[in-house]
Structure 1
Amino acid sequence: MRKEHIVYFKVIHKGEASLLRGLLYLEEGQEPTLQDFEQCLRACGHDVRVIDQEQFIFTANRDGEDYTIDVIEDYEQTHRDLYSDSLNKTFIKKDRIL
């Protein structure tokens, strides 16, 4: 059975870093490979080349400018996603006292 696996990427462009997410579908118990990460980035519109296979670091070029994409393997979300929290609240049934 295939399961969703969220992947976090740090995109470094012009000295600024941005955090992006991607989604992989992997067989249960399977770990993502370099090719999985590469395919995910290409699907997101990045024309990537591998520059460090062990650290999963890629380089890409857009509009004549190079930028770096680093896969964050042990990412722990330390901040709350307010959009997700708001969406989750719409599914919570509120108890009404009559």
Structure 2
Amino acid sequence: MECIVHFEVHHPHEVKELRGLIFLQEGQVPSEQDFLSMFVEMGYKLRLEDKDNLVFTPVDPAANYSKIRVRRLDTGEKSYKEDTELRSLLSNLLPKESRPL
């Protein structure tokens, strides 16, 4: 199964929207290693900075971009798109620390 990865590359003065492709088994979701392998094939050497938001940062400090953020995954079936307003609302409503009841 093909998974089209829609992502944005944050440069100092602009943000470029690009796409990549990951091949998966049927019903499988991309792993951290799948993303990293795809980016390496595209010439980006990255590490996962924020697993929840799928934000990657360059390993090389001389890179001409500050981060790469995955925006959407398209498998041809169901589409994943982050709802930033819902995430913001939930992060403000949920307690910052978990405590026992």
Contact 1:61 1:67 in 2 (8 A): no
Superposition RMSD on alpha carbons, in Å?
Answer: 1.9
Q: TM-score, normalised by structure 1?
A: 0.65
Q: TM-score, normalised by structure 2?
A: 0.64
Task: Report how far residue 31 of structure 1 moved.
Answer: 1.0
Structure 1 alignment gaps of length 5 or more: 76-98
Q: How do 1:6-85 and structure 2 match up within 5 A?
A: 6-60=4-58, 64-65=62-63, 66-73=65-72, 74-75=80-81
Segments ≥4 residues shifted beyond 4 Å: none
Give secondary structure in 2 for the equivalent of 1:27.
Answer: coil
Structure 2 alignment gaps of length 5 or more: 73-79, 82-101
Which one has a bigger Cα radius of gyration?
A: 1
Contact 2:47 2:59 in 1 (8 A): no
Whole-angstrom CA distance in 1 between matches of 2:13 and 2:32: 25
Which structure is richer in relative contact order (CA contacts within 8 A, separation 6 or more)?
2
Equivalent in the alignment of 1:82: none
Whole-angstrom CA distance in 2 between matches of 1:47 and 1:13: 15
